[in-house]
Structure 1
Amino acid sequence: MTALHWHRPLMLLAIVMALLVLFSIGGLIVDDRILTGLPIWAKAVKFALSVLIYAVTWAWLIAQLTRWWLISWWAGTVAAVGLGVELAVIVTQIVRGTTSHFNFTTPLDAALWDTMGLSIVVVWVATLVVSLVLFRNPAPDPARNAAIRYGAGLSLIGAALGILMVVPTQAQRQTGSAIRGAHTVGLPDGGPGLPILGWSTTGGDLRIPHFVGMHAVQLLALVVIALEFGARRITVLRSARSRAALVTVAAAGFGGVLAVLTWQALRGQSLVHPDGPTLLALGVISTAAAGSALLIMRRRPRSTLIAPEPRRAIGATR
């Protein structure tokens, strides 16, 4: 099965997003407008690239299903349409020279933001449906199965964290601002930020846990790939049970880091200036994960070892 046939609507969306990334990079070069502290086309580059990764990943996962494939196909199609609407609104507002998020400045701005907000909810529900179908289609390899399930769950949590950004800040409520919601906690949006990403370097930024969480499924897939390649040289990794346990540790560690990043942002603390409690929490998570992984690696594998199959996709081929 060629990549385009994994899930045609999502793969077509991925192609459009790839073209949009290139177009937006061109916009960065020729358009010198600045919006909320960043080049105005930077948002299109970031969102198009994120959607591209989402579309390819979930199209591939849907292609692995053996049961309830039609339900997941329609859910993936709904997600593709919703994401297309979201990017269309973002590009429209860039062309108009204004922000797409939290913008109630004019009736048109409010209608576009409401449309985008609705599309985001639809995409989340569609992703939930595909995730539930994936749970009903266990992969033959327990490590791959764990990566799919934990990755999908964490991705849904990361996406849901975006709701924290739509709540108007106290200052916005007091002044009756036409902007209702913010990425930054403790400071107005548009302050000093990391290059390209724009994440605040002076206050908390809710985009960080939102972004990190959404891409859990890709990260855990990379963990599985690394373990399977490692199994060629490390005996204990040839055990499917050991690989699954290590994926579980990676998922638990990822979830802990996601919780800390959310806690840090909500306290108005910059990612690049963590305080003692944040460093302590990250240290505890890292130590627990490293210790657990070491115990698994030192464990005597069962006599029956299951060799990895690095050339097969995660899950059963439809």
Structure 2
Amino acid sequence: MTSWGLRLFRLHRPLGVLAGAMLLVLVASVFGLLLDDRTLVNAPLWAKPFKFAVSVALYAPTLAWLLSLVKRGRRAGWWMGTAFAVGMGTDMALLVWQVLLQDRPLHFNHETPADVLIGNLLATGAFVAWTATAAVVVLLLFQKLPDRALTSALRWGTALAAGGMGLALLMFSASPAQQRVLDGGGTPSMIGGHTIGLEDGGPGLPLLGWSTVGGDMRITHFVGIHAIQALPLIALALVALSRRYPVLASELVRRRLVWTATFGYAGVIALTAWQAMRGQSIVRPDFWTLSAAAGLIAVVALAGVLSVRPRAAVPGERHALRGF
């Protein structure tokens, strides 16, 4: 085991086990994508395990690191991390069983009672993971960390990640065609879907599978959940850059920039959700989407400039991130 793996196990053993399992799934998925030409819902069979393994392999160590910063409520934090590992581990086991071993759709599948049961277990695991993440958000509110800019990034990143998980619920509403079957007293084989305005299985981006002909809520879900990595990385990058750019030595400046990044990131989540809900592909934005994106970029750029404006020094202000 590498030193990185040992450190992760010391931080939180259940999350370390989850991350290790995801690395195994990831390696198997790479070989599967190269050697197995089977498809499921017009996508490579191994694409979903690959994407989920990458996402969870990034998420688990990040959550373990966040929990290592928890001093007040450390035991509660450990249990929240364990709950996340169990919930997400259960979902990944169901994914491997249903997709790889049964060659059947995992999400939205109502074709047989077994499919419905697996779907319910999947939803339970996802809810446990979401609740655990939301609880970590609350725990972080009561922690005193060495750098206030990083504190803001951790809190907002985890909060946006919890919101990104919650946005997945929008994908479980019946499409108009599915609703007509339900209204007629029937039971469609699929209820819900990733694609807005069309049925799943249409043309999509290579490997990612995001629709190139309709709206796709997976994009918003993906962007949202990885705020937990993006915003803290921005805060740490600002600390590293402060050695070259003196203006960033001010903790207040870095905190303003983190707030600006948070606003921009939340704007991207809202923009991709708005675009998807209008049935519009990420690769075919219309005038209004492009205008909103341009407006968001302009506001974030202006806020960034204002964040680094000259200001009087604050006595006793901390200029470096200690302990990280």
Which TM-score band applies after superposition, normalised by the shorter structure? over 0.9
Of stretches 170-179 and 212-221 in structure 1, the one that deviates more from structure 2 is: 170-179
Aligned amino acid, residue 234 of structure 1: Y
- Structure 1: distance between partners of 2:134 and 2:293: 29
Aligned amino acid, residue 214 of structure 1: I
The correspondence of residues 211-290 of structure 1 with structure 2, limited to 5 A, is: 211-290=222-301
How many residue pairs were aligned?
Answer: 312
Relative contact order higher in (CA < 8 Å, ≥ 6 apart) = 1
Shift of 1:34: 0.6
Contact 1:242 1:301 in 2 (8 A): no
Shift of 1:307: 2.3
Contact 1:75 1:127 in 2 (8 A): yes
- Structure 1: distance between partners of 2:297 and 2:9: 39
Is 1:136 paired with 2:142? yes
Report the equivalent of 1:193: 204
Contact 2:146 2:323 in 1 (8 A): no
- Structure 2: distance between partners of 1:241 and 1:59: 27
Q: Which TM-score applies when normalising by structure 1?
A: 0.95
Aligned amino acid, residue 286 of structure 2: D
Report the equivalent of 1:155: 161
Aligned amino acid, residue 103 of structure 1: N
- Structure 2: distance between partners of 1:33 and 1:107: 25
Shift of 1:306: 2.7
- Unpaired segments of 5 or more residues in structure 1? 314-318
- Structure 2: distance between partners of 1:65 and 1:225: 18
- Structure 2: distance between partners of 1:211 and 1:303: 39
Report the equivalent of 1:101: 107
- Unpaired segments of 5 or more residues in structure 2? 1-5, 182-186
- Structure 2: distance between partners of 1:163 and 1:290: 32
Report the equivalent of 2:126: 120
- Structure 1: distance between partners of 2:301 and 2:312: 19
Aligned with 1:70: secondary structure?
helix
The correspondence of residues 52-131 of structure 1 with structure 2, limited to 5 A, is: 52-94=57-99, 95-131=101-137
Q: Which residue of 30, 34, 37 corresponds with 2:35?
A: 30
- Structure 2: distance between partners of 1:16 and 1:210: 23
Report the equivalent of 1:291: 302
- Structure 2: distance between partners of 1:47 and 1:131: 23
Contact 1:65 1:137 in 2 (8 A): yes
- Structure 2: distance between partners of 1:250 and 1:301: 23
Shift of 1:301: 4.8
Q: Which residue of 11, 22, 26 corresponds with 1:17?
A: 22
- Structure 1: distance between partners of 2:25 and 2:195: 26
Is 1:179 paired with 2:190? yes
Q: 1:196 to 1:301 in 2, by over 3 A?
A: farther
Shift of 1:235: 1.3
Report the equivalent of 2:213: 202
Aligned amino acid, residue 265 of structure 1: A
Q: Which TM-score applies when normalising by structure 2?
A: 0.93
Instruction: Say what the alpha-carbon RMSD is for the aligned residues.
Output: 1.3
Aligned with 1:99: secondary structure?
coil
Q: Which residue of 166, 175, 182 corresponds with 1:169?
A: 175
Contact 1:203 1:269 in 2 (8 A): yes
Aligned with 2:288: secondary structure?
helix
Aligned amino acid, residue 284 of structure 2: H
Deviations 1:127-167 (A, max 9, x none): 11111111111323110011011101111111100000011
Shift of 1:31: 2.0
Quick one: percent identity of the two aligned structures?
Answer: 42
